[in-house]
Structure 1
């Protein structure tokens, strides 16, 4: 490649990376609610063992979200703005944690948080897997999540990848995203079904 062409390619590449940062900023500023389907693939530290689950999620700023895992096992995670509830229907158990203790540097903090750049330092990453990526580095040390990357296809949120403190990698891929969807308030309230063993932290 000629020097001029190489220089042009480097400039275009740099703009693409910067666009991913701007796409995340625009998402945080302009998308106040939404719903989507997701597939989550968790890869063990050895890089060989993988587990895949799928479901749907809804969110509304500030700090309200609902993750419904439907396959292979059912699980519900609800953030009501004050607490995060986790419900396992098979075990008939539900537990809660205060929102600030549960969110940390989680994907929910990115999707439904109030101020991304207060909580994360944003760094552009090389394009891969047909997506533009931005890394979100927690400004406060997080013992659970070590790193987060957010992938965009154009201006549309497409994926979130994270690595936890145990070396596991999780890739959450989104589809059928509806930004600024109207979501009923009761979707972010957790009511334990009869017979559920509830552990509710104060």
Structure 2
């Protein structure tokens, strides 16, 4: 009887994991645009220090997105399909670089990229915290670049809905984004992905 229960438990777990991979594939294939709020928690490698920020996220495939951090500091990251712009309101300073150089095998590529499985290998992970997790491993061309900055990259799903993303960088710092008020395939105004340099702001082009 115990063996049967164990086998059933393992079977249910494997189905849940497969569903999470399918959920990510469906997200990459079927969700062309979207909006969500997020809370980001950054934890130091020793686990003792945490920084929490929050804001909103919008995207439209291919390769257009907007992360707007509202608390504790205002910062905007915008990709218009050609370039990525980062603007820090406190410094009144912006930087830009070509999308191809900035995107690669990154979290933004997972959320707004044109071809998910061209850039990543997907591997099911154990369920944790009520979410089913998928590990996304960068493929070849982008792997070397990604490995220099990213140790691991996971996405968490609750059923078919994207609920969280977790990134561990090369130094062991952990960043987790928890998404709420997720709206899939809703129209997003084109100007949300256009960056206009604020008056008096410095621009650093890379």
Calculate the TM-score normalised by the size of structure 1.
Answer: 0.97
Equivalent residue runs for 1:115-194 within 5 Å: 115-139=115-139, 140-141=143-144, 142=146, 143-194=148-199
Determine helix, strand or coil for the equivalent of 1:91: coil
Q: Distance in 2 between matches of 1:49 and 1:105?
A: 27
* Cα distance in 1 for residues equivalent to 2:191 and 2:105: 25
Runs of 4+ in structure 1 deviating by more than 2 angstroms, as ranges, are none
Note the residue ranges of structure 1 that are not aligned, 5 or more in a row.
none
Checking the alignment, whether the CA contact within 8 Å between 1:105 and 1:145 is kept in structure 2 is no
Tell me the equivalent position of 1:65.
65
Shift in Å, 1:9: 1.3
Cα displacement (A) at 1:101: 1.3
Unaligned runs of 5+ in 2: none
- Following TM superposition, by how much is the alpha carbon of 1:104 offset from its aligned partner in structure 2, in angstroms? 2.8
1:73-119 residue CA offsets vs partner (Å, 9 max, x unmatched): 00000000011000011111000011121113322111100111111
How many angstroms does 1:200 deviate by? 2.5
User: Separation in 1 of the partners of 2:153 and 2:98?
Assistant: 22
SS in structure 2 opposite 1:191? coil
Query: What is the root-mean-square deviation in Å for CA atoms of aligned residues?
Result: 0.9
1:56 aligned residue: 56
What residue in structure 2 maps to residue 37 of structure 1?
A: 37
| Equivalence for 1:98 | 98
Q: 1:36 Cα deviation (Å)?
A: 0.4
- Cα distance in 1, alignment partners of residues 155 and 193 from structure 2: 24
Q: Aligned pair count?
A: 201
- TM alignment of 1:101-112, pairs within 5 A: 101-112=101-112
Deviating more after overlay: 2-11 vs 33-42: 2-11
CA distance in 1, matches of 2:192, 2:154: 27
